[in-house]
Amino acid sequence: VEVPAYAKLNLTFEVSGRRDDGFHQITTIMQTIGLADLLHFEPSADLKVKCEYPELAGEQNLVWNAAVELGKAGGIEPAAKITIEKHIPVAMGLGGGSSDAAAALLGLNVLWGLGLSVEELAGIAAGLGSDVSFFLWGGTALAQGRGEQITSLSPLPPLAVTLVFPDLAIPNKTAAMYSKLTMGQFSDGGVTRQMIRILTSGQFVRESV
């Protein structure tokens, strides 16, 4: 079994406040793009997660957690050899780890013959990470809550995208960035609502007058 794990872009990203559970309340439009990792699934006597990057192999990978949680949901011992071909740059906000975890849920659901629906897989995905659920569907979608509440939107037409990756490593990037937010930087979701109107109308380019 082979499953691609597509990267994503955030077309908008707004934070409206801090939640009681320590997460932030967000409103964002996410879009999958053609750049993708590729996950291979094979039967095995035990659970193995392989990757050409040693730091992404084994139990420290979110794919491992996805396999364990899916095994619990299916009432089986998780056993498979999962090989990750990594093409999405790490820690660049493209969601590679979350997308790999979603691909693991989809691929292992087939390999193990569990027959779970995407909605059932989404319940597992929400416990793995805030944006894992989105990658089960992909496309263009509104994500709310801490990112796990997904609503499909009108799709973008085919577009070319240029990605630029800074030579900069930020330890614990997500937590570090959220910690610097002030109340004055919270928003009411207006930018996202405007983007939804644009997506719905299909008017992506403003013609000069």
Structural domain that includes position 125 = 2-201
**Alpha-carbon dihedral 100, 104, 110, 114, rounded to 10 degrees:** -140
Q: Highest mean pLDDT range out of 26-30, 103-107, 202-206? A: 103-107
Number of domains in the chain: 1
Per the structure block, which two tokens stand in for 187? Answer: 């928003």
Active site residue 8: yes
Active-site residue identified among 131, 167, 173, 188: 131
Which has the closest alpha carbon to 4: 146, 143, 72, 104?
104
Instruction: Using DSSP, state whether 154 is helix, strand or coil.
Output: coil
More confidently predicted of 39 and 181? 39
Active site residue 167: no
Position 206 in a domain: no
User: In the chain, which ranges are E strands?
Assistant: 2-18, 24-42, 47-51, 80-85, 140-144, 149-152
26-35, 68-77, 149-158, 195-204: which range is least confident on average? Answer: 195-204
Looking at residue 206, what is its pLDDT? 59
Position 209 in a domain: no
- Check pLDDT > 80 for residue 208: no
Position 44 in a domain: yes
Position 84 in a domain: yes
Position 124 in a domain: yes
CATH code assigned at 8? 3.30.230.10
Looking at residue 60, what is its pLDDT? 86
